[in-house]
Structures are given as C-alpha cells and as structure tokens.
Amino acid sequence: MGLETFCKRLLPCLFFLIVSPCRAETVLTDAQELDTEHQRGVKLAREGRYDDGLAVLAALQKKYPDSYPLERDIIVITAWKGDCRSVVRRYERLRNHPDPEPYFILPVSECLGKIGRIDEAISLLNEGQKRWPDDSSLATAYAVMQAKRAALFMNELRLEIISDTSDQGKREWFYGSVLARRISDRARVYARTANTRSRYDQYQSGKLDRVGVGIDYELRNNVVLTQEFSYDIRRPGQNGSFTSVVYLPTDQWRFGASYTSFAEDLPLRAKAELIDAKRSIIFTDYHTPDYRWSWAASGSRYDFSDTNRRSTLFTSLGYAYEMKPKREQRVFLEYYESDNTLANTAYYNPSHDKSVSLVHKTDFVFDSRFRRHVDHLYLSLGQYDEKGFPTHGIWTVRYEQSYDFTDRTALLFGVDYGRRVYDGASEYVSNMNAMFRWLF
C-alpha cells in the first residue's frame, strides 16, 4: 500500500474520531436540556404559575418543534389555566397521535364538552378506554359526558320585542323570533322572523315583514361560519343574504366580520322612503381571564341605495373595581364616531359626529326561588359633537332585570331614558326591550 493510499484511508478515520464524540456529546447535552427544562416548566405549572410554566415550554418548543411530550404538556397546562379554546385549537395538531395518555385525554375531553363539542369528547374518551381499559378515571369521565349529552337541549325558541325612539323621537317597534335546532356538535340550523311597525301614518311604507333561514357551523380551528338567506313577505324583490365569520382563538379573544346585502337596522325615515343598504362589520373583543378588564371595538360601513355611505367606529374599555358574590361594579369608557357622505337626506345623517361617554354598571344578584335573578343598573354621562353645531351633554339611565327561571327558560327586560341631540337640538328619548328564551 502506497503512502498516498494510506493517507486517503486514514483521514476519514481521523475525522470520525474527532467529530463523532463531539456530535454524541451535543446530542446528550440537548437531551439533558430538553428533559431538565421540560420538568422545570411542568413544575412551575403544578405550583399554579401557569403562564411561567407555559413560557418555559414555549421557548423549549421553538428549539424542539416536533416534540410530542412538549406539545402534550402545553395543552394540559393550558387546560389547567382554563383556556379551553386554546386547548381545542392546539389539540388539532395531536388529534391523530396513536397513543395519547389518560392524563392528556381527560382535560382535552373536558374542554371539548365545555365548548359544546360533546360528541367529540365522547368519541375521544371512548377511544381512550379502548387503549386503557383499566383506567377508572376515563370510564367515569365517559359516563359523565354521556349524561351531559342526554341532558342537552337540542332546540331553542327566542322571542324579542324592542321599542326604539332613536330616530329623532319617532317611535318604532321591532318584533323578532328565532327557532333553532342543533343538528350536531358543530352545526345549528334556524329560522327567524323580523317585523317592524310605527304608529305614524307617513311611515307605514317602512314596515318590514321578513323571514330568514340559516345555518351556523363551527370548523375545527374554532372558526364559526353563519350563512342566512331572507326575504320580505310583503315587499317583492327585497331578498337578503347574511354571511358571518367569527374566530375564537382563545376563551379571552374573539374576532369577527359580517356582511349583509339587506340591513334591517336602518332609521325609520330611511325605510319609509324605501331606502335600503348593504352593511359590512368587523369587530373584536377581549377580557382578562378573571373578567376584571374588558375591551371591545367594531367598525361598520353602510352603503345606502340613495348613494349615502356611512362609516362608524365604536370602542369600549371596561374595568371591574368590585366583584363580590352579590354585587359587581364596572366602569366603561366608550367612544363612537360616524361619517356620512350625503347631505339633505330624509333621515338624520350628520356629515360627522362623535361622542365620548363614561358608563357605570352595577349588577345586583338576588337570592330568589328562581335559578338566578340579576338586576343591572347603567348610568351613562358624556358629550356629543356634531359637525356644524355646538357640543352638548348627553346622558342615559338604564335598568334591566334578568331571570333564569330554570335551566330551560330565561327572561330579560330593560328600559332606559336619556337625553340625545339631533342637529343641535336636544330631545329626551325612552326605549324598552324584552327577550324570552326557551330551550327544549
């Protein structure tokens, strides 16, 4: 063997001897880090420090994205934290894992049940029992979920009445009804009616008598889709389509958007002129896990058939400074503004207006023979600005009573009285609403 040939064979051996121990040492170090940090994150969570534990595991997961134990324990800790929407969303990644442990199956199935996916929870528990036939906790959870499904009400009837004087003191009445049936964990079909009336002869042409049918469907990624078609039984050609998409990434956050080709919430005077509108809305809201803080925001656009375009913005920030078993008190800071593109319309249509209000809400919880009885008192004080007119003060007092008579029946009734301003002139308005719900 020549020297050149010997060197060619020797060099790969020397490279292996040098590199292989280093590589083995690196793999060993990585495994130790994964195990140590993993245990530390779980230990923090077991101490009740859920966010700290999740932060450790999330940082570790960035380095080891394919680790099943990491993803599994993140889901379990998220369930301990009480965020079932996040649990279900993350569970979709592990849905097809061949051998989930009972301590993973139990919290996931409980969260599925909490958000209404009872059939999926039962299926998961059933598969778990097949893999772990001697685990009594799975058998108990399965029986509980079966009982929960048996007690589930599949049908809902909702009736609603609203009396509104928001269009410059002209009172209008709204009557609505919804009959819905749940056809699966993820789907609900419904039919509804919507009728509006006014006692003023000159506005009789604006009354609506609409019927609609629709379906709500929840996808696996916590996205709820709604599609509805409606028409007016008295006014030919007034057909409408409503589409809504709502995303629920966690129990605290909600994002949504909707579009309807026939908006029903138009001013009485606009409807009397046979004006209709298309409406687009985007919205989001959030609350902290303890419900101490809340925030909501929405934006809408109306494209009226008289060429007017209305854009609105609303946002509200709330804080609960008292949360007792029998009384809760919250304050809200609210901001609203709108812009309209058409002047000299038959309905109230400021070119630009805005309002800022401070709202105080008190909830009184009463002991009664009913399942639950809560009264709500709202006190609102703010200022209203309309372009071309001086600033005016506005206020509202609202009182509501809410009854859950049983698990199946509930009633809400509310009245309010306040001061509003239209084109620089103040008016005192009163409104009323009532809603009854029956599950069967």
Measuring CA to CA, which residue among 320, 350, 342 is closest to residue 332? 320
Res. 401 pLDDT band, cuts 50 70 90: very high
Measuring CA to CA, which residue among 226, 229, 196, 198 is closest to residue 211? 229
Map out the domains of the chain as residue ranges.
29-150, 155-439
Mean pLDDT computed over 6-22? 47
How far apart (Å, rounded) are the C-alpha atoms in residues 69 and 104? 10
Residues 318/331, Cβ–Cβ less than 8 Å = yes
Exposure of 103 in the CB half-sphere (CA atoms within 13 A): 7
Measuring CA to CA, which residue among 35, 50, 44 is closest to residue 86? 50
How far apart (Å, rounded) are the C-alpha atoms in residues 205 and 196? 11
**Whether the predicted pLDDT of 109 surpasses 90:** yes
Average pLDDT, the chain: 91
pLDDT for position 23: 47
How far apart (Å, rounded) are the C-alpha atoms in residues 386 and 372? 42
What DSSP line would sit under 52-121, residue for residue?
HHHHHHHHHHHH-TT-HHHHHHHHHHHHHHT-HHHHHHHHHHHTT-S---HHHHHHHHHHHHHTT-HHHH
Residues 107/79, Cβ–Cβ less than 8 Å = yes
Question: In what helix (H) or strand (E) does residue 208 lie, and over which residues does it extend?
Answer: none
This prediction's pTM: 0.84
Residues 391/419, Cβ–Cβ less than 8 Å = no
The residues with which 97 forms a beta bridge, in sequence order, are: none
Mean pLDDT computed over 259-273? 94
pLDDT for position 17: 39
Residues 117/108, Cβ–Cβ less than 8 Å = no
Residues in the chain: 440
Percent of the chain with pLDDT over 70: 92
**Whether the predicted pLDDT of 383 surpasses 90:** yes
**Whether the predicted pLDDT of 15 surpasses 90:** no
How far apart (Å, rounded) are the C-alpha atoms in residues 239 and 373? 40
How far apart (Å, rounded) are the C-alpha atoms in residues 123 and 240? 39
CATH fold group of domain 155-439 = Porin (2.40.160)
Res. 7 pLDDT band, cuts 50 70 90: very low
pLDDT for position 170: 80
Distance of CA 196 to the CA centre of its chain: 28
**Amino acid, res. 38:** H
Instruction: Tell which CATH classification among 2.40.240.20, 1.25.40.10, 1.10.260.40, 1.10.300.10 matches the domain 29-150.
Output: 1.25.40.10
**Whether the predicted pLDDT of 36 surpasses 50:** yes
Percent of the chain with pLDDT over 90: 81
Residues 416/431, Cβ–Cβ less than 8 Å = yes
Q: What 3-state class would DSSP assign to 402? A: strand
Residues 173/161, Cβ–Cβ less than 8 Å = yes
Mean pLDDT computed over 278-288? 98
Mean pLDDT computed over 81-108? 93
How far apart (Å, rounded) are the C-alpha atoms in residues 415 and 399? 6
Question: In what helix (H) or strand (E) does residue 206 lie, and over which residues does it extend?
Answer: none
How far apart (Å, rounded) are the C-alpha atoms in residues 265 and 164? 11
Res. 250 pLDDT band, cuts 50 70 90: very high
**Whether the predicted pLDDT of 25 surpasses 60:** no
**Whether the predicted pLDDT of 19 surpasses 50:** no
